[in-house]
Amino acid sequence: MSSLDLPSPFSEIPLYPLQYLHPSPIHPLPHLSASATDAANAKDTTDVPNSSSHPRINIWCKREDHGSPLACSGNKYRKLEYIVPDILRPQEDGRKVTTLVTEGAIQSNHTVQVASVAAILGLKAVVLLHKGTGGGLRSTTNPEVFQQTGNVQVVRMLGAEVRMLEPDEAADDKDPVEPILQDLRVKGHVPYWIPSGASLHHLGGLGYARCAFEIAKQELEESQRGTLKGSGQFDYIFVSFGSGSTVAGLIAGFELLEKTREEERQSEDGKQFPKRQIIGIMSSPTKPKPYHEERVVRFARTAGGMIGLEPQNDISLDDVRLDDRFVGSAYGQLDPDTKAALNRVAQTDGLIGDPVYTGKTLRGLLHWVESGEIVRDWSARSGATVNSKELNVLFIHTGGQSALAAYSDA
């Protein structure tokens, strides 16, 4: 586990290392940066105040898909690092947990990472996969293959028991989970429930609060090397938004970072650069954006209260920026525009995304850059007083490539 200068009480929260000893890598995407900047330059920028030419947009990638040696490395391992100590703690009756139980859509990345953690802890795993969640199963031309390959195949390889739940089993008036937990208890197991994406778990936001400090450390290293120019930080951070605690953790972590370090990023003309802007690209059209914004504030405040913030004062709706324009017609359904974004990034910088989350995030990021939206937003937030020839954009790759095999007909 990489050494980070975390303030108290954050530094005292128990953590079980699941990541490599070094941070997940950050590297530039030079060809995508050049092509996206060229596309932005081709558009009219006269509506951008104080801008004689479009700044260069430097796109970088943080490889959370390279962050852990465990199966299908991705963003859930950061969350689970803070949950595992709670799993290993004796339960209220004094017994130890024997079985991890979690849920997700058919091609859930989260369930793979929970099953992997169960395997290394010597625990049983029960994975509940909802057939009615999203549009992946509905849109495929081969439902049998969709339910057997990709992440489903990996979960089974890891030794987990897979239970496919029909849509009527997860109806609004039914709780499919509690009967399963009760049945396990009757059979002598001690189950531990981890909600989908770990976001509803009270410890779910801590992993990405920690990641904020890791990113800041990597920013400083790149800035000192002269490879991260402009503000010397990532002005915009784009990340997939699903269950919510990845975005929420980042918000809480960067808020604590700025509060404890009193960071000041000065431009050449002495003006202060705006703080980092986290953009969550939504992956599902099921719930309206305001519902998710409130959820993020709640998760961020929960994490913030544990790491040393004053939740009600330090975190508000103003800190949350979600974009729902790229959700497509259904969660888990690979639409043509997202597929085009995945192919483009693969063919420019050799980066493979996933069909459920990162593909939509890449599509959203490219829209922000090429439409000039990112420059207009920067100008508005800086009060048109800061001139920057370069803006730095970070794409957080949360993993999920193992689901691609199930989408072979898309």
Number of residues that this document lists for the chain: 410
CA distance 324 to 372: 18
Cis peptide bond upstream of 9, omega within 30: yes
Question: CA-CA distances (angstroms) from residue 272 to 32, 213, 251, 266?
Answer: 28, 20, 20, 5
**What is the residue type of 109?**
N
H/E stretch holding 373: helix 373-382
Helix pair 30-41, 358-370: axis angle to 10 deg: 40
Tokens 């290993």 label which residue? 88
Q: Which of 93, 147, 154 minimizes the C-alpha distance to 125?
A: 154
DSSP 305-372: HHHT--HHHH--GGG--EE-TT--SSTT---HHHHHHHHHHHHHH-----TTTHHHHHHHHHHHHHTS
> Does 108 qualify as catalytic in the annotation?
yes
Neighbouring residues of 287: CB distance < 8 A, sequence distance ≥ 6: none
Q: In the beta sheet, which residues pair with residue 266?
A: 272
User: Among residues 108, 231, 283, 402, which one is catalytic?
Assistant: 108
User: Which residues participate in catalysis according to the annotation?
Assistant: 108
